[in-house]
Amino acid sequence: MIERIRNYGIVGVFGLLFVVLAFTSPSFLSLQNGANILDQSSVLLILAATTTVCIIAGIFDLSIAAVATASAIMTVNAINAVGLVGGVILGVLFGALLGLITGVAITKTNVNSFIGTLAASFTYRGLGLILAAGGLVTIENEQSAQTLRDVMEGKYLGLKGAVWIAIGFVILVGVVLAYTVWGKKVYAVGGNWQAARLAGIRSNRVLISCYVLSGIGAGVAGVIYAGRYGTGATNAYPDSYAFTAIAATVVGGVSIFGGSGAVWRGTLGILTFALIGNGLNLLGVDTTYQQTILGLLIFAAVAADQVFRRKSA
């Protein structure tokens, strides 16, 4: 019973919030409002999916916002150099490369992932400044910029392209984590790194692969930014994106101690945050209260995780 509450508590919270907003705000249930919520959450859905995998593996990645920012800049530079398709591919691969560098550096030195990725965040923001020559880079070919903008901002079945990319990415990561041998290794390493290693799992390789996946997600986020705005900016994604992704994962019921969780929980965590912000806006409530509400929700989720762990022990 305790485990069931832990696993599906976010469903109850999301459902209750949804029902309350449906009754208190006439415009909440409109299709346009739903599409707007998904559009505003699209990048965070991607980052929350990879963050969920990392936390299940027992690590944190605070560098994702910086990697996404650097990838946006690299995407624009690459499009200007090799064209649209090649530029998009290079933008995503650049994120993967930065994730690989982070993973290798942390696993080889045994630096705590929280501190290591925090340092990486500063490093990659500096790299972004170098790539952007300290300012802003713009896609020079107007046709390429318009084509990429059409992909990201154009609507398909009522949802923007960026939303469909986010949905596809989240589903793919969720399926891979839940139904592949690699996914089982991620759970094993997060549950007990030493036991997994003794069982023949190359734990460090699994952790590195999680950092690479995180980098790929950040790279996709960078491409989305480049597509939406036609530019790459050094302030594209502030570090609050990384903290929000981690917070949503925890609120979704993924244990910060690793070894348990699922991608759909982080997804519901992000959507719960989005509903809170959207609901406050629709009800005309001062959005300064949003941070307080989210803070209390995060604290309650972590406290509940501690209680559940003690009772399960």
What's this model's pTM, rounded to 2 decimal places? 0.91
Bridge partner residues of 155 (DSSP): 160
Identify the pLDDT of residue 307.
63
Mean pLDDT by 10 residues, the chain (313 residues): 58 78 79 88 95 94 95 95 94 96 94 93 93 86 93 90 95 95 93 84 93 97 94 90 89 81 88 82 70 72 62 55
Identify the pLDDT of residue 71.
96
Bridge partner residues of 160 (DSSP): 155
Identify the pLDDT of residue 252.
82
Identify the pLDDT of residue 93.
97
The rounded Cα 5 to chain-centroid distance in angstroms is 24
Domains of the chain: 2-16+31-312 (1.10.3470)
Angle at 162 between CA 167 and CA 123, to 5 degrees: 95
In angstroms, the CA 60 to CA 113 distance is: 6
Identify the pLDDT of residue 26.
78
Identify the pLDDT of residue 151.
92
User: What are φ and ψ of residue 233, in 5° steps?
Assistant: -120, 150
In angstroms, the CA 190 to CA 195 distance is: 10
Instruction: Give the closest residue to 145 by CA, choosing from 101, 78, 84, 62.
Output: 84
Q: Quickly count: other Cβ atoms within 10 Å of residue 30's Cβ.
A: 11
Exposed, middle or buried by CB within 10 Å (0-12, 13-18, 19+), for 3?
exposed
Task: Output the six-digit token pair for 107.
Answer: 């696993």
Identify the pLDDT of residue 8.
63
